A and B are shown apart, each in its own frame.
Chain A
Amino acid sequence: MKQVIIILSFFYLSVFFVNAQDRGTIRGNITDKETGEAIVGAMLIIEETEPEIVALTDFDGNYSLENVPINAKKFTVSFLSYKTQIIENLHLIPGNTEILNLILEKVAEDIDEVVVSAKSITNTDAAINTVQKNSAGIINGVSSQQMSKLGDSDAASALKRVAGISVSGGKYVFIRGLSDRYSKVTLNGAEIPGLDPNKNTVQMDMFPSNIIDNIIVHKSFTPDLPASFTGGYINVTTKSYPEKFTLHFSNSIGYNSQANLNEDFISYEGGKYDALGIDDGIRNIPEQANDIPAIYQNDEKLAEISKSFNKIMSTNTKKSFLNHGHSLSIGNQIKLFGKPFGFILSASYDRKFKYYDNGLYAKYDYTHSQNSSGVMNLYISEKEKKGEEDIMLSLLGGFSYKLNRNNSLNISILKNSSGLKSARYREGPRPEDDIYMHEHTLGFQERNFTSAQFSGKHILTNFLNIRINWISSYTLSKQDEPDLRFFSYDNTGINSSAYAVPARFYRFMTENNADNKLTFEIPVNIKGKSAKIKSGAAYTYKSRNSDEKKFDILSQGIVFNGNIYEYLSDENIIKDVNNSPKGIYVGNDTITDSFNSYQAKENVIAAFGMIDIDITKNLKIITGARFENNSIFVENKVPTYHHKYKKAERIYPDILPVFNTRYSVNKNMNLRFVYSKTVGRPAFREIAPYAVYDFKEGWRVVGNPDLQRTLIDNLDLRWEKFGINGDIISASVFYKYFKNPIELVDDARATNTEFHYVNINNSKLYGIEFEFKQHLGFVNLNNFMIGSNITILKSEVEFPVNSNTEESAILKRPMYEQAPWVVNAFLSYDNKEVGLNSNVSFNMEGDKLAVVIRGDAPDIYKRSYPNLKFNISKTIGKNFSVKFSVKNILDKVHKKTYDIEDKEYIFQSYSLGRTYSFSVSYNIN
């Protein structure tokens, strides 16, 4: 409620400031035509007014001409050594702000003045291309405009459009086929925690598109970036305050042919606030459960505790609602104490359903004989139903205060939370034990993070023109998985020696992140060549606390008759029968308690220096180095005597050099060559000095405190040609060499599957990337644009078949979860005059390794899946727009199968149906 009041008061405040004037404002930015860089200190003058209205651009090239009488017709822009521009045909509306972004050109021989009509200045979505063209490294980007055109709902789906990127599980980004270890995500340039307990990665579905201004993917390292990436570094920039009053209010509904308004949707009885993605406490661990007596110790207390657990452990069916989403954002730039103050406030809510009853799940044993190839023997084969309800809530506040032309301060506050409620039911035969299985799984996952960032930009005009940028950011994040419930049984009862007994699992994880960065940039002149020297330092800190608990539902002397409700009822709770306890009771499973509960800390201290110098008019060199000192510490909360080490503590200092050249063949064509060294560091779990049991997957994972970090040599060669309005053609080749890469290998000594993290000697990755975007005006299809990108990759990892035998054979395989190719394509129609926009987009990637199976048994691959999407949107009147989209048009079957040629052995398959959505939005821009 408080938040609503704040939003409303800002709303009225802005309206108040805007109204009641017969004057207007002109704002915008000014960039260099060739380099795309902001021009600082350019002067704008409106001479026809009395007195003259004058403005200078600030360090971002931004200007603001204020209190301009509405009858003003033209103004002049000038800057030393640039052609002066005269902007004519101004048409100001009282109280409104006109946005004019201008481009200045260096003085040629004869012409030193150009006249431009204000009407012909359009805000194109080519900004990303300009950044791309002029950046030091190799980058790609997605703008908010593109996201809204292609109907991408969050950062994860938007990133799929970028060359060489694939997204796994709707969350994890793979850049050039490299998994989470080798990519890094920051928010407005500052590190934020990943919400995954096992990986070092940020889950990209946590950023709804309405808060994103742009996403930039750096595929090559420069010393001013953190060095712990290889595939790519992704920076998500949240929306910054607008130049003038904006309001955006949008509502959408969606219908999926399987998931929505379905009577058979499977779910379970949860809490009151499930629809907000927040648990109301019903999934808490009962208080008494901290100290559970063993059976025969205190059976009365045991019975009481056993009764205190929630009795719902099976799925039910409940009609699902439509998908729906709502968002509101307002922003403005006003005067506060006489200085420009900009703000943006945004809130959104999104609810989605997912359901299938066509799932299959099967496992095979590969019976291997010494002298013949193996045979696939069915171990289990089940039909699967699954229902998911996904909620996302997001609040953003961004504030900026410009003290003067050379100093500004920004505050950005972001709070995101997501809740995922899931229910799954599987049934089918398990031949080896001659039983027919039934398995219920009920889950709930809450993820949220709150990030506060304070940053500033300064230019010291009277001291070398040094630019100073700094950011200080703090993030608190949580990932809780309360009361994940499993209940398996078969036609003969509950068979504890064949599969796990019914159980409930709890995880609570919190992480604190702080990131502080300071950079200096000094323009210099070295022997007549203009150059920039950049130097800076950073300190990031992260701490994590993770607690897990698991409780088993055990029984003594009673038989399960197939009815879960009856089995868990109070009548069945343990009680004394002829002096011995009979019934069900709860036991604390220490497998997870002692080993998955840990504390961990990590920090990185970094310093860098780099120089960016124009050797000739066409050749730019960027070179430098970054030093990073990483220290990482993990300690298990309950020490164990069964392991070699008590805690893991490692320090990895590294110096990481970069050599980067850009040769401009002509104004619109670049050739680039980049060499850099980067680092891949182990995640907390990987260096943890103990084994953890991943009981969702049913295997043990053993950490390795002796792990070395991975050093990677990166080589990139790229050719790129830029057209107008964002047209581009580019081709790249790249090669990466990993020294001491970390891989997960199966330990054949273990009776049950047990994975170890080990450093293997080396691995290699190479590939090519091709990308184009082209407007079709040249074939008279004026409003059409077509684009595509293709990445082809090859990777090779060599590792011993058995990690612990010296004489073991060497196996070669691709890197885990690495797709050999990724293809994106789109065709779009955009008619600005009638406000009609439509597009078709396609996305697909090659088969990728999903599960590594022990020894020479066939591994499991995720098969390629074609994704086709259609969008159409139309503006209605000045402020309304409507949009209709169809997703997953082809609706093929998602499949994971064994890598065996003679026949298709399915490990997992399902299909999800088509989704149709419709939205209406109201905008004031």
Chain B
Amino acid sequence: MKRNLLKFTAIAILGAIITLSSCKTDPIEPVDKDATTFVKDANGNIVVTDKGKGTGNYTFKESEVYVLNGLVFVNDGQTLTIEPGTLIKGKPGTGESASALVVARGGKIMAEGTSEKPIIFTAEADNREGTGVSADARGLWGGVIMLGKATTNNLTTDKAIEGISTSEARGLYGGNDDTDNSGTLKYVSIRHGGTDIGEGNEINGLTLGAVGSGTTIDYIEVIANNDDGIEFFGGSVFVKHALIVKCKDDSYDYDQGFHGKGQFWLTTQDTDSDRGGEHDGGPKDNETGTPYAKPEIYNATYISVEGGESKTFTLRDNAGVTYANSIFVNFDKGVDIEYLEDGGTMAGCSYKMWEDGYVHVQNNVFYNVAGQTDGSNVDASVLFKVSTAKDAEGNHLPCPQNIKDAWTLAFAGNTNKVANPGVTANNPVPTNAQTDDMATYPSGFENVSYKGAFGTTNWAAGWTLTFPSK
């Protein structure tokens, strides 16, 4: 009897095991990636919703108004063409439902407007004339993000653009092709963007992640963004004719080893704007990684607001730069260069980069920066300042006087001067043209004979929200 019971128990258990083990173990259901939809809404606008497959090879027509609903990607291998004069709007929304146009790595955008027919990206509530929302309204939608295959100095070749999880492969950028071509942006105005995309990040007006030199970006306006105007994450792209107006954070920002070029860059800031330029060399976990950040920027005009608290630009975390033939006006503070002692190696600081010949701030004109208006009596120590790390109480660590002095001397030593070029936010074309002591242009740059972004005409007039009339 007992033995039978034993047997019975054993068989019952075995039976249960066999039955249960044969359950299906194919557990995971992939998300069906559906085709992107283009659906007309009640206002006759075409609402674009990406369900995983990107825009495909598609053309945004001038005759229509497009509304981006969430993140809309141009996937790898696809080309999105935008006709001149097209109006593209972004729906409101934050986080993963923020609306933005993302040109993924391997995708291409052909957005070639003209000075008569610019391509406009703006908030859903806005209109073509720019009167739908207040001119200074920020953060109403996302922005334009371009991701490419050029190099960065990140620890990993692939990097996820801020605000997008690594789970979305189309948010990755970086590669080994510095001549990569993500397409063309020409006569494009990006307005009122910068919505929160998560984790204290907002979408920049124009985000350029590892965008290569094969890409054309010329005549770009970013106005009233809630974050930076343009932010470069590595890459080698040449951006020409850009104006960044009244953005909340920094006007021009780069990090992760940006080594492209810039010419004719204007910014006009608001009282609450941050730096004219925030320039980091490498990410925190790989600051001295290569390629070094050493972009060449010629003919910039950076105009801040009296009463603001902005710095002209900051060089830190191993950033290098060339700023030449440029004009800086009305900034509360001068140019900051980071100095870190680190046991004498000075590793990861831009001061070291300057000593090593990667920082050239030369042949520029400053006016009313850190209170300096008298060209014959310049206190260069407030214009070219060394910044050290801070201790736990928030006090700057001391910096040797000779270190400070050497950098201050570089102001005059590199043919920078204090003079009034006669530029204002309303008219950035100098009334007192600065044409002396010009730095020589490297190849690829337009060989103009004036400092700043403008000679005698305003190239931004007529196609931007900032300068609507010719």
Contact = CB atoms under 8 A, between A and B. Distances in A.
Contacts of A294: 91-93, 124-125, 140
Contacts of B171: 642
Contacts of B393: 381, 429
Contact of A749 (B6, B96, B156): B156
B398 interface: no
Given A537-B16, A751-B161, A590 B347 contact: no
Contacts of B172: 749
A641 B31 contact: yes
A751 B29 contact: no
Given A648-B28, A655-B17, A802-B156, A369 B345 contact: yes
Interface stretch (B39-47, B104-112, B193-201, B294-302): B193-201
A580 B13 contact: no
Given A367-B348, A556-B137, A609-B10, A429 B390 contact: yes
Interface string A148-164: 00000000000000000
Contacts of A367: 284, 287, 317, 340, 342, 347-348
Contact of B159 (A381, A581, A589, A751): A751
Contacts of B51: 641
Given A749-B156, A751-B159, A497 B123 contact: no
A296 B133 contact: yes
Given A431-B389, A641-B51, A655-B17, A646 B92 contact: no
B116 interface: no
Contact of A751 (B52, B162, B168): B162
B379 interface: no
B63 interface: no
Interface string A638-666: 01111111111111010100000000000
Given A559-B272, A702-B167, A752-B162, A295 B13 contact: no
B444 interface: no
B285 interface: yes
A643 B162 CA distance: 16
Contacts of B94: 552, 587-591
B437 interface: no
A886 to B, nearest CB: 33
A372 interface: yes
Contacts of B137: 295-296, 556-557, 580-581
Nearest to A524: B2
A595 interface: yes
Contacts of A691: 165, 167
Interface in A599-614: 605, 607-609
Contact of B97 (A362, A496, A590): A590
B412 interface: no
A608 B16 CA distance: 10
B13 A609 contact: yes
B97 A627 contact: no
A690 interface: yes
Given A693-B198, A749-B166, A751-B162, A605 B20 contact: yes
Interface residues of A, number: 102
Interface in B142-182: 154-168, 171-172
In the complex, which of the residues A366, A436, A750 has the most CB atoms of chain B within 10 Å of its own CB atom?
A750
A669 B335 CA distance: 79
A297 B21 CA distance: 56
Interface in B283-342: 284-289, 309, 317-318, 340, 342
Interface stretch (A77-85, A245-253, A498-506, A859-867): A498-506
B287 to A, nearest CB: 5
A533 interface: yes
A754 B138 contact: no
Contacts of A705: 27-28
A562 interface: no
Contacts of A312: none
A500 B200 CA distance: 5
A489 to B, nearest CB: 13
Contacts of A594: 95-97
Contacts of A629: 20-21, 23
A649 B28 contact: yes
Contacts of A579: 134
B76 interface: no
A499 B201 CA distance: 8
Interface string B218-259: 000000001110000000000000000000110000000000
Interface string B371-400: 000000000000000000111111000000
A148 B160 CA distance: 55
Contact of B29 (A642, A645, A750): A645
B97 A608 contact: no
A700 B160 CA distance: 13
B347 A375 contact: yes
A857 interface: yes
A751 B28 CA distance: 28
A535 interface: yes
A754 B166 contact: yes
A646 B157 CA distance: 28
Nearest to B2: A524
B287 A751 contact: no
B351 to A, nearest CB: 14
Given A377-B340, A533-B9, A644 B30 contact: yes
A802 B168 CA distance: 18
Interface string A782-814: 000000000000000000001011000000000
Contacts of A557: 134, 136-137
A294 B156 CA distance: 38
Interface string A366-391: 11111110010110010000000000
Given A644-B30, A749-B172, A751-B159, A369 B288 contact: yes
B27 A496 contact: no
A706 interface: yes
A691 B163 CA distance: 12
B16 A372 contact: no
A831 interface: no
Nearest to A705: B28
A372 B341 CA distance: 13
Nearest to A605: B20
A752 B5 contact: no
B176 to A, nearest CB: 14
A378 to B, nearest CB: 5
Contact of B196 (A496, A580, A754): A496
Contacts of A608: 13
B202 interface: yes
Nearest to B36: A641
A882 interface: no
B9 A642 contact: no
A592 B134 CA distance: 29
A431 B387 CA distance: 11
B394 A381 contact: yes
A749 B13 CA distance: 48
A846 interface: no
Interface string A688-727: 0111010100111010011000000000000000000000
Interface of A: 294-297, 362, 365-372, 375, 377-378, 381, 428-429, 431, 436, 464, 492-493, 496-501, 520, 522, 524, 533, 535, 537, 552, 554, 556-557, 559, 579-582, 587-595, 605, 607-609, 627, 629, 631, 639-651, 653, 655, 689-691, 693, 695, 698-700, 702, 705-706, 747-752, 754, 756, 802, 804-805, 854-855, 857, 906
Given A375-B342, A651-B24, 15 more contacts: A295-B140, A296-B132, A297-B92, A362-B392, A367-B284, A367-B317, A367-B348, A607-B16, A627-B16, A641-B50, A644-B30, A646-B29, A646-B32, A804-B166, A805-B156
8 contacts: A296-B92, A497-B201, A590-B95, A605-B16, A607-B12, A627-B20, A653-B23, A754-B166
Among all A-B residue pairs, the 8 with the closest Cβ atoms: A429-B394, A580-B134, A294-B92, A591-B95, A296-B125, A431-B390, A369-B347, A642-B168
